[in-house]
Each structure stands twice: as C-alpha cells, then as structure tokens.
C-alpha cells in the first residue's frame, strides 16, 4: 500500500512538473497562441485580428516616455501581446490576476478593451491612458532587463510602491502630471472614498498607484535621488509619506503667506 502511495505521489509530481514546464514554454513563446506576429521598431506585436495602424503611433510615443528611465536600454526588444481573441491574455490573467495589463520579463500583455483612437484601454468601466499604460508596462520590462529576474519582483522583495511607483513615474509625463504640488492637489481634491484618481483626459489611476507614483516623484525629483539609490534606500513608505506631506504643507503655507502679503 505504502509503495502504491509513493508511486502515485511520484506520478503526480512528475505530471505537475510537466504542466509547469509546458506553461512556461507557452508564456515565453506567445507565437504558440497567436495567429499573427507583426514587427514594428523594437516591438514584436502578437495579435489575432488586423492591427489598427494607430497602435504603432502609441507604441512609439510610449517608447519615447521610456527614455526618461535611467535603466533605459535602446537595444531592448519587447513583445506586445494584444487582447484580441488569443488564449494568451486569459492565461496570464488566470496566473497573475485581473489587471489593465501586465509587464514582465520582455513582455507587455494587454487585458481589457483597447481603443487606439480614444487613446485608452477600458476595464470594468475604467479607462487607463493607453500610451501611459504601455509605458508603465514597458518600464517593468526595463526593470527586469537592468536588475535581472532574481532581483526583480515578484522574486525579490522590492516594496510595491518602489516597483509600481517608478513605472507610473516614467509613464505619467503629460503636462498636467509633471508638477508634484499639482499632483498632490489633485489627490487632496479627489473624493475621499474613491478607488481611483481621475486625470483631466478622463482616464484614471488607481488611488494606490497614484500614491506610489507621488512618493517616487518626491524622492526622484525633490530629493534628487536616482532610482538605483531609491531601491537601496532603507526609509519606509510611511516615513517618505510623512516627509512628503510636511514638504507639501510648508510650500502651501508659504504660498498662502505670500498671497496674503500681496493683498
């Protein structure tokens, strides 16, 4: 009986291992689950349906945003996996959970419904700016490229705010997003119980990511740290938040005082 149990346990673990290897092969080779593959600049786009040529413009614009990263590598080639009927995005969603998109290794996997003309990707009624979403996920690929798989999330224990906040910092470069004071103002003015923070173009950022972004913006712009220094820095998220809030309050106070003096 014992020998039988052992035999079955061995069979089960071998089957499990084979399934894991098969999954890994499929994940690393989107070509297996897509009908079409199109090359554009440093991107390989995997798709089922014909591509809207506007997508090329969005990819190019996202690639320009990416150049702001100190980890930028112009030789990096990325796979862009569209959510237009292939099993691939569903598989990634089953493995990693529901999201607007996923960026890992050298792959950007879109979820939700993409609207190239409106420049957004919609999920559950929320819209994410498409160029900025692409740039966000590409930033994760740049993080993988520079840090290596073992020093990247989820294997390395990098705090979420440093990982996601940096992707937001690189992606959010619209004119109305580069001033930290204005960004904190937007957060202060948002309804307190809302899940999302809305931008002027009608797209959103989840409140959690919005906070991460501002903290990274504070460290990199106000404190003039490099991203590499931020990754090594030992200060907690709470400390940075406190520091940023008192910096914001003091600037607001100064602005009020000089306004009072003028009147």
Enumerate binding residues for Zn ion (CB under 5 A).
Answer: 164, 167
Phi, psi of 56 (to 5 degrees): -60, -40
Closest CA to 35 of 87, 99, 70: 87
CA distance 133 to 127: 10
User: Given strand 126-129, what is the order of strands in its sheet?
Assistant: 113-115, 120-123, 126-129
CB of 136 to Zn ion, least distance (A): 6
Q: Considering beta carbons, is residue 84 or 168 the nearer one to Zn ion?
A: 168
CA distance 61 to 31: 25
CB of 117 to Zn ion, least distance (A): 25
Residue 209 burial by Cβ neighbours in a 10 Å radius (0-12, 13-18, 19+): buried
CB of 197 to Zn ion, least distance (A): 16
CA distance 91 to 242: 40
Q: Considering beta carbons, is residue 167 or 180 the nearer one to Zn ion?
A: 167
Q: Considering beta carbons, is residue 104 or 218 the nearer one to Zn ion?
A: 104
CB of 135 to Zn ion, least distance (A): 11
CA distance 82 to 127: 17
On whether the CB atoms of residues 90 and 53 are closer than 8 A, the answer is no
Q: Considering beta carbons, is residue 63 or 170 the nearer one to Zn ion?
A: 170
Q: Considering beta carbons, is residue 86 or 132 the nearer one to Zn ion?
A: 132
CB of 163 to Zn ion, least distance (A): 7
Q: Considering beta carbons, is residue 114 or 167 the nearer one to Zn ion?
A: 167
Give percent helix, percent strand, percent coil of the chain, each to the nearest 5. 55, 15, 30
CA distance 188 to 168: 19
CB of 48 to Zn ion, least distance (A): 24
């Amino acid at each position: 009986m014992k020998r039988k149990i052992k035999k079955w346990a061995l069979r089960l673990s071998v089957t499990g291992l084979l399934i894991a290897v098969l999954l890994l092969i499929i994940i690393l080779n989107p070509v297996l689950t897509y009908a079409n593959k199109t090359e554009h600049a440093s991107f390989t786009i995997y798709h089922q349906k014909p591509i809207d040529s506007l997508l090329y413009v969005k990819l190019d614009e996202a690639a320009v945003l990416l150049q702001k990263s100190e980890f930028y590598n112009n030789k990096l080639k990325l796979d862009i996996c569209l959510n237009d009927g292939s099993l691939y995005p569903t598989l990634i969603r089953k493995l990693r959970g529901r999201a607007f998109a996923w960026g890992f290794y050298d792959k950007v996997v879109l979820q939700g419904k993409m609207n190239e003309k409106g420049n957004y990707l919609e999920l559950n009624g929320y819209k994410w700016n498409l160029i900025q979403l692409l740039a966000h996920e590409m930033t994760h690929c740049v993080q993988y490229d520079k840090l290596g798989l073992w020093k990247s999330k989820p294997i390395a224990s990098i705090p979420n705010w440093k990982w996601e906040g940096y992707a937001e910092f690189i992606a959010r470069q619209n004119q109305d997003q580069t001033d930290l004071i204005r960004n904190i103002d937007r957060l202060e003015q948002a309804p307190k119980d809302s899940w999302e923070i809305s931008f002027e173009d009608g797209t959103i950022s989840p409140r959690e990511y919005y906070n991460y972004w501002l903290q990274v913006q504070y460290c990199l712009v106000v404190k003039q740290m490099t991203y590499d220094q931020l990754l090594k820095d030992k200060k907690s998220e709470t400390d940075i938040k406190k520091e940023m809030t008192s910096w914001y309050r003091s600037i607001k106070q100064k602005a009020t005082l000089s306004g009072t003096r003028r009147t």
